[in-house]
Amino acid sequence: ALLTRTLLEYVQDARHSARSLPVGMMEKARAMCRVTNALMRSDGSLPLFGDISPDLPTSWLRGLPRVCERAGLLDETPRDAFECYAAGANAYFRNRAVDVPESFPQTPVSGWTSRLFPSGGFLFAVNPTLGLELAVHGDPRPTSFCHGDSGRGSFEIWFRGRPIVVDGGIPTYEPGELRHSFRGAGGQNVIALDDLAPVVLFDEARARPRWYVDSLEGGTWQLDSAGAMFSWRGFRRYRPGLTWIRSWRWSGARLTIEDRVEGWTGEGRVEARLHLGERGWSHRSRSLFTIEGCEVQVAAPAGLEVALVAMPHATDYGVVVNGQGIQLSGKLALPTSWSWWLECDSEN
């Protein structure tokens, strides 16, 4: 979203200077604005995947979809129509560009819709009637780059303005234990096998031999009308043939997430985490967790301990919240699988 704000200034400067943009630039700009519109929720919040920028509070980005529309770079209705600062871009596009036609409201959508941006690995599934949203980041590249983390397949779930499941985020650029812990598997909604994170981070890759980095494998996406699947082959650097498959299915007020670890036979210590965005969750039974209006159920092999634990997450740069989370951990025979499903009260 911050790069989209820079893009808007670039486009405006080119227009004021009567300079032509490079061939293909406008289509790339429109694609960036579509992703930004999908990221920005109707309340102006957005998922915090990867590094959180120290440049400005994330709330200052609100208003970007409207500015993208006025600039003629968004060919769909802004999900958040609120007029706001947009990280300063609002000053450049206070009025609709003269060559941009008036847009007309789209017909409201009922039920689930989904969008996948495969190159960047962003998946969005939205049910506007229920106010329930899923946002996933599964970068298919075999290593992380620059501002990335271990969150291959990490996700957020938002329900009527409430952050039910959140990404751990990264609250600092400063090297040290805090940054290390949030970038690793323990700071993300992912799994670890024998304490190994799903992906090799950027600085780790630079310290590895070229042949090792070139041998790393990435991921692939599949999408249908009721779900999506992300297959990750990054654990093959540890066990030949090992694949972690995470799938999301949506129906009514329920979201189901299944994890499968397959392609290799043996034993391994498995850890999986789910960062919860609100405090006040209760652990009712081995498999059931509840908070007002929502519940999470877990179906896990007997060898996995299921616990509600303290699990911090970042809400902005330099801001860490002492939150709660669900942790699965234990030694299992592989292949194996487990699932989580979340359901929110759609009647109230």
Tokens of 324: 């709660």
Lowest mean pLDDT among 78-87, 153-162, 235-244: 78-87
User: 276-280 long-range contacts, Cβ below 8 Å, gap at least 24?
Assistant: 276/164, 276/165, 276/166, 276/311, 276/323, 276/324, 276/325, 276/326, 277/156, 277/162, 277/163, 277/164, 277/165, 277/166, 277/313, 277/323, 278/162, 278/163, 278/164, 278/323, 278/324, 279/323, 279/324
pLDDT over 70 at 109, yes or no? no
In this structure, are strands 288-291 and 313-316 parallel, antiparallel, or unpaired?
A: unpaired
- SS3 of 38, please? helix
Q: Which residues contact 233 (CB under 8 A, 6 or more apart)?
A: 217, 218, 219, 242, 243
In this structure, are strands 113-117 and 122-127 parallel, antiparallel, or unpaired?
A: antiparallel
69 or 108, which is more confident: 69
Q: Which pLDDT score, from 0 to 100, does residue 100 have?
A: 52
Size of the chain in residues: 348
Query: What average pLDDT does range 58-71 have in this prediction?
Result: 92
Lowest mean pLDDT among 23-32, 97-106, 122-131: 97-106
- Among 207, 205, 225, residue whose Cα is nearest residue 216: 205
Lowest mean pLDDT among 9-13, 48-52, 127-131, 270-274: 9-13
- SS3 of 47, please? coil
Q: Which pLDDT score, from 0 to 100, does residue 267 have?
A: 97
What pTM does this model have? 0.93
How would residue 216 be classed by pLDDT, with cut points 50, 70 and 90? very high
Q: Which pLDDT score, from 0 to 100, does residue 246 have?
A: 98
Query: What average pLDDT does range 101-122 have in this prediction?
Result: 77
Q: Which residues contact 249 (CB under 8 A, 6 or more apart)?
A: 226, 227, 255, 256, 258
Q: Which pLDDT score, from 0 to 100, does residue 97 have?
A: 56
Which segments of the chain are extended strands (E)? 113-117, 122-127, 132-137, 154-159, 162-165, 191-193, 219-224, 227-232, 243-251, 254-276, 282-283, 288-291, 294-299, 305-310, 313-316, 319-321, 324-344
Segment 226-256, tens digit of pLDDT: 999 999 999 999 999 999 999 999 999 999 9
Q: Which pLDDT score, from 0 to 100, does residue 110 have?
A: 72
Give 38's Cβ-side CA count (13 Å radius): 22
Q: Which pLDDT score, from 0 to 100, does residue 331 have?
A: 97
